[in-house]
Amino acid sequence: MPISVMGLTNINKGIIKLLPRIVTLIILITAIPQLAKLTWRVVFPVSSEDISALPLTAPPAAEPELKNVRPAFTLFGLATKNPPAPAEATSLDQVPVSSLKLRLAGLLASSNPARSIAIIEKGNQQVSLSVGDTTPGYDAQIAAILPDRIIVNYQGRQEAILLFNDTRASSSSPAAAPRPPLMKRLREQPQNILTYLTISPVLSGDKLQGYRLNPGKDASLFRQAGLQANDLAIALNGIDLRDQEQAQQALQNLADMTEITLTVEREGQRHDIAFSLGDE
């Protein structure tokens, strides 16, 4: 049955009357949660400091401090930061003196073993040797060249040959003969000039700069020659001592020299020091 115009008008009027109530109900439904939160904050207030202090995420678990903790047991032990170098069986200074019939006539000791030279004399034979070489007449290998001795490996043991030890001198002689004058001794054994000097190679990087001279056990020749402590020898009779091969040649020819001219550097200046091994 069709609805009359009058009926629609009455329905619209009823809806219009209920509309304020419907809007109010919707507002209340929306506002109730906000009112509940506001009431909770009024009844149980929480400061902003407390809120900011609360962590947003759980902090990571603190790692234990291990740097000062020593484990009670380790399978292979604890490694030291600087493990000590293995000690030699004996110090080179305590190696017993060799009984080999060899004489150390002179040497040039260097911190670089490859540059060290030892002049070994056996009978009338004289040779210049380096570390690793074998001495004449014996199967003794040079293990080290020190400023006052050499160390050789002979028949499985270490022995020392001293620079100032003349094995040819007899200790059983009833009385020592008076020592001849210095120049006469040097004429007879000119290679012994090295026993009156302490010679130390001076290196700049890998380059040999010369040899530092200082008095030896017997400083008489050092003083008579006009040398001064810490003189730097750079040439011997014109042979450049800064070249290893030429320096070795000079040492080998030393026994045949009667006139010596040594060129040294002293306080930045070069000086030629000449002395004779001829007849006095």
Question: Do 188 and 155 sit in the same domain of this protein?
Answer: no
Domain-embedded: residue 112: yes
Question: Do 208 and 266 sit in the same domain of this protein?
Answer: yes
Domain-embedded: residue 243: yes
Question: Do 152 and 209 sit in the same domain of this protein?
Answer: no
pLDDT, residue 151, reads 93
Question: Do 191 and 267 sit in the same domain of this protein?
Answer: yes
Domain-embedded: residue 65: no
CA distance linking residue 272 with residue 280, whole number of Å: 21
pLDDT, residue 198, reads 75
Question: Do 140 and 190 sit in the same domain of this protein?
Answer: no
Q: List CB contacts of 278: < 8 A, sequence separation 6 or more.
A: 187, 258, 259
Contact 161, 98 (CB under 8 A): yes
Whole-prediction pTM? 0.37
**Domain edge (last residue) among 162, 193, 222:** 162
pLDDT-based confidence at 13, cuts 50/70/90?
A: low
Task: Kindly report the CATH number assigned to the domain that includes residue 255.
Answer: 2.30.42.10
Domain-embedded: residue 191: yes
pLDDT-based confidence at 94, cuts 50/70/90?
A: confident
Question: Do 127 and 194 sit in the same domain of this protein?
Answer: no
Question: Do 158 and 215 sit in the same domain of this protein?
Answer: no
Task: Kindly report the CATH number assigned to the domain that includes residue 135.
Answer: 2.30.30.830
Report pLDDT digits (tens) over 28-82. Answer: 677 666 666 666 565 555 554 454 455 555 555 555 554 444 444 333 334 444 4
- Cα angle: 173, vertex 179, 181; to 5 degrees: 160
Question: Do 188 and 221 sit in the same domain of this protein?
Answer: yes
Number of domains in the chain: 2
Question: Do 235 and 196 sit in the same domain of this protein?
Answer: yes
**Domain edge (last residue) among 109, 127, 162:** 162
Between the alpha carbon of residue 50 and those of residues 45, 59, 189, the distances in Å are 10, 17, 100
Question: Do 231 and 147 sit in the same domain of this protein?
Answer: no
- Mean pLDDT across the stretch 230-238? 87
**Domain edge (last residue) among 162, 196, 223:** 162
pLDDT, residue 58, reads 53
Domain-embedded: residue 128: yes
Contact 233, 247 (CB under 8 A): no
Range of the domain at 135: 93-162
- Classify residue 218 as left (phi > 0), alpha (psi -120 to 50) or beta: beta
Question: Do 193 and 271 sit in the same domain of this protein?
Answer: yes
Name the H helices within the chain: 5-43, 48-53, 182-188, 220-224, 244-252
- Mean pLDDT across the stretch 220-228? 75
Domain-embedded: residue 77: no
Domain-embedded: residue 168: no
- Mean pLDDT across the stretch 168-197? 51
Question: Do 257 and 211 sit in the same domain of this protein?
Answer: yes
Domain-embedded: residue 196: yes
